[in-house]
Amino acid sequence: MIFGRGIIEPTDDFAPDNPILDILSAPDTEPDWLIPNLLLQGTLVCLAGDAGSGKSYISYTIGLALAAGCAALSRLVPEAEPKRVIYFDEENSRGDRDKYLRRSFHGLIAHNGGEEPSESALLTNFWPVHFALGGDDWEACAARWVRYVQPQLIVIDTATPA
């Protein structure tokens, strides 16, 4: 290698192509946003905070809004085409989960001038899965759900430290 110039002599067993010039000369493309300027499809996001700080509530609200295609959170989530969402709740009791979902649903109604989100859109697009990933086969279980639902957003709500 000639230091400072980036010239590398290939070896017999390893000679990859360097894509840097193709990358630099390619046109910019618009990312595939789930929530414009906030959440890209195909990315991993970790939402962390103290217990009781609202992580589950905001996650359920975002998930329901995306699934219904309606605006939420002061239009941080804009009205758009509905998206498929799987919400793996591995933390909250069934009662707490149901409370979060009802509060989020009623918040969407209030935020959208009293209009209820489409029940058919929610039935098709929002999949709340409760305590399904706790076993040794959690990856296979999650993969079955993903293949079936084909979601644009997967939420894993867990008390396990990230």
pLDDT digits (tens, 9 = 90+) for 83-141: 999 999 999 999 999 999 999 999 999 999 999 999 999 999 999 999 999 899 999 99
The whole-chain average pLDDT of the chain stands at 90
DSSP string, 3-30: TTTTB-PPPSS--PPP-HHHHHHSPP--
Residues 126, 151: Cα–Cα separation, whole Å: 9
Residue 132 has phi, psi (to 5 degrees) of -105, -15
